[in-house]
Amino acid sequence: MNIRQDLRNIAIIAHVDHGKTTLVDQLLHQSGTFRANEQVHERAMDSNDLERERGITILAKNTGIHYKDKRINILDTPGHADFGGEVERIMKMVDGVLLVVDAYEGCMPQTRFVLKKALEQNLTPIVVVNKIDRDFARPAEVVDEVIDLLIELDATEEQLEFPVVYASAINGTASRNPEKQDENMESLFDAIIEHIPAPVDNSEEPLQFQIAMLDYNDYVGRIGVGRVFRGTMKVGQQVALMKVDGSVKQFRVTKMFGFIGLKRVEIEEAKAGDLIAVSGMEDINVGETVCPVDHQEALPVLRIDEPTLQMTFLVNNSPFAGREGKFVTARKIEERLMSELETDVSLRVDPTDSPDAWVISGRGELHLSILIENMRRQGYELQVSKPEVIIKDIDGVRSEPVERVQIDVPEEYTGSIMESMGARKGEMLDMTNNGNGQVRLIFMVPSRGLIGYTTEFLSLTRGYGIINHSFDSYQPMQAGQVGGRRQGVLVSMETGKASSYGIMQVEERGVIFVEPNTEVYEGMIVGEHSRENDLVVNISKTKHATNVRSATKDQTVTMKKPRIMSLEESLEYLNEDEYCEITPESIRLRKKVLDKNEREKAAKKKKLANK
């Protein structure tokens, strides 16, 4: 059996913020892939604005580097479970993984999630203990944690014999010795060449190329990114595309690209083991196989995890509709959602009875809020409903998604966290005291109990707690209400501008969400009520001028600072009878029924129906 000794394919996997993308930066720089005078951003692999702003990787990316006469293809994967759809497919394209673990934080929920996917594909792991220069770094214990996790996930004997490299990605150093860092990352490069299996060279056999990711380009249309598993592929070749539904389409390969550094380089030929991008086919999807016309043999279809959360997207019909956005019609919104399906495989778009509304399903709140944020930046206006979990019928039992939640908090907050998790039907699996006043708690909680929990969690722990969760499985549905907002809201009774006087009149009733001079309309939510019911308020009231001077005229009155909510916070805050209106300039919360009397009638009807 021939082996391609000149090539290695690896994926970098880790929990969010453990330093994957920074590590890839260093590997790119130290391999000499960039010219000496080339301008390169930090975290060069995070290419879109949202990734840079939030410091997270949303889309998996590939890059290629040369080291000593060998070529290493590296895939940088997202750490958030919401983008797990990206991670799973990448595991099929590579022969080994670099598991990056923070030297202080150790194994986290997403570490477990991505590692499980890698072990299922039988990949060889190399463990990189990153941030070794951090205060309180505990490399030996972290390696033990990784061993425990591998055993728990049923790793094979070979997988347990993993090499460990200790690194500081930010300083560009690595070594096999935890006590002392070398000046560069050669020990990591050498570990990759030595331990990651080289691909088999069966390029003489009939072609098999499988698509694992999609890209889109206005000039060439859809681009399929994947791996050549067998055979050779050339530009101009006539090939057959084996579709997921069993049909076969023929097309000609018009362009092929290889990856070097951050660039795509046009190539004429690719052979077994290569990771490439191919254009020339309009109707291509993830998991489909390209093979010769006379030898049609499909690879097993890639399984993609099902969505767990859905929300309704609607055309904006508020009194302020069309003021701030460029694209406001149903046709434009639908076109945009359909184009998102071109590249995002974990997303579903389903029509509803109304031509102005669609049900969008995704892998989690972050997944959907990133789509909404991208849309508003591109000039779209829309409304969305409260996110809801997707309930499935499994063997005749109503089942809901359950998440594994890991919480790290100072000791004094453990009581209140356990109480709040209990109220959300959370079941505690484990509690460990790290000895430095920090406690780690692990729960299994229904996903619907976690919607809107972040804000409550931060106030319970005064901002000192860290919460991470990832989808675990579908379990039989628990009875009763889980989670949800307890407080009612303050709703504006008229359309106008919020005035300082109006705000100060209602301040003691709750927390205000708008600043003076913000335009408001009837039915818009302007604050949170301190009680459980909704309250209609006049926030645009102005003070009548009189010619009588009051004795207290010169006293200054200070207004409280309003709570301005981000997009994620607004989505989490919603109740069933509310929408979040999103435009390029504003995020507003509103009642579905704007008129107070109509709202009361609807509430009464609902009460009667529930009896």
Residues placed in the known binding site for GTP: 17-22, 130-133
Report the length, in residues, of the chain. Answer: 611
In terms of Cα–Cα distance, which of 105, 81, 98, 96 is closest to 466?
Answer: 105
Classified as helix, coil or strand, 42 is coil
Q: How far is residue 27 from each of residues 18, 244, 436, 476, measured CA to CA in Å?
A: 16, 36, 34, 46
* C-beta of residue 500 within 8 angstroms of C-beta of residue 559: yes
* CA 296, 297, 302, 303 torsion-angle sign: positive
Per the annotation, binding residues are: 17-22, 130-133
* C-beta of residue 461 within 8 angstroms of C-beta of residue 504: no
**Distance from the first to the final alpha carbon of the chain:** 72
* CA 498, 500, 501, 505 torsion-angle sign: positive
The Cβ of residue 369 has, within 10 Å, a number of other Cβ atoms equal to: 23
The Cβ of residue 503 has, within 10 Å, a number of other Cβ atoms equal to: 23
The continuous run of DSSP H or E covering 497 comes out as strand 496-497
Q: Which residues, other chains included, contact 611 with Cβ-Cβ below 8 Å and sequence gap of 6+?
A: none
Q: Are strands 263-267 and 269-271 parallel, antiparallel or unpaired?
A: unpaired
DSSP at 327: B
Q: Are strands 7-14 and 70-76 parallel, antiparallel or unpaired?
A: parallel
* C-beta of residue 212 within 8 angstroms of C-beta of residue 343: no
Alpha helices in 93-227, H assignment, sequence order: 109-120, 139-152, 157-160, 186-195
Classified as helix, coil or strand, 207 is coil
Distance CA 125, CA 10 (A): 9
